């Protein structure tokens, strides 16, 4: 919100020149920091990047999660934090439509309710994601160990119960 006033001229119209100037200054710094964190091995790193797809940054990530809410709810939240209605609409126009983001992303979390509800959804997502990754890694391990047949793999509170046969 600090930079928002430079987006508009005195007559309250959108100022593309200032917006581009701001992006040329900030985006390289953000990308540099992002790449630094992504170099860390064996770490799960989570980024919140509003223009991730628009900035073609999705190529740096294995999994994309779209957290979306209705425009009216986003506007109300933005105004409650002291933002200006005009700035909200300016920023909103720069983003892809929710439908496009949903198609590009691997998962979707809807954020139309309370923060408590959102936290529950995020916890459920993390559990499902970790279970999926764990199963994938177990299968890779078993293939490397030359296990021919897997009878079943179950995830119970992230404990793995498996039965398999070497043939």
Q: Strands 149-156, 159-165: parallel, antiparallel or unpaired by DSSP?
A: antiparallel
Tell me the C-alpha distance between 116 and 75, whole Å. 20
What pLDDT is attached to residue 160? 44
Higher-pLDDT residue of 30, 158? 30
The mean predicted confidence, pLDDT, of the chain is 79
Q: Are 27 and 55 in contact (CB under 8 A)?
A: yes
What pLDDT is attached to residue 62? 85
What pLDDT is attached to residue 147? 64
Q: Which residue has the tokens 């994309």?
A: 64
What pLDDT is attached to residue 108? 93
> Averaged over 75-102, what is the pLDDT?
92
* Residue 141 reports pLDDT greater than 90: no
Tell me the C-alpha distance between 103 and 129, whole Å. 18
Question: Is the overall model pTM greater than 0.75, yes or no?
Answer: no
Q: Where are the alpha helices (DSSP H) in the chain?
A: 16-38, 71-80, 85-93, 98-104, 115-144
What pLDDT is attached to residue 101? 93
What letter does residue 8 receive in the DSSP assignment? B
Q: 15-19, 40-44, 56-60, 67-71: which has the highest mean pLDDT?
A: 67-71
């Amino acid at each position: 919100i600090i930079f928002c006033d430079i987006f508009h001229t005195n007559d309250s119209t959108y100022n593309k020149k200032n917006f581009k100037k701001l992006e040329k200054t900030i985006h390289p710094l953000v990308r540099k920091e992002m790449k630094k964190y992504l170099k860390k091995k064996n770490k799960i790193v989570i980024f919140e990047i509003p223009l991730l797809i628009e900035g073609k940054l999705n190529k740096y990530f294995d999994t994309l999660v779209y957290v979306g809410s209705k425009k009216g709810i986003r506007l109300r939240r933005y105004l409650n934090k002291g933002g200006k209605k005009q700035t909200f609409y300016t920023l909103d126009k720069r983003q892809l439509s929710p439908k496009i983001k949903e198609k590009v992303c691997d998962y979707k979390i809807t954020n139309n309710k309370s923060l408590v509800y959102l936290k529950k959804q995020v916890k459920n997502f993390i559990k499902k994601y970790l279970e999926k990754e764990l199963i994938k890694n177990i299968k890779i391990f078993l293939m490397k160990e030359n296990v021919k047949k897997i009878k079943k793999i179950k995830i119970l509170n992230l404990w793995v119960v498996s039965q398999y046969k070497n043939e």
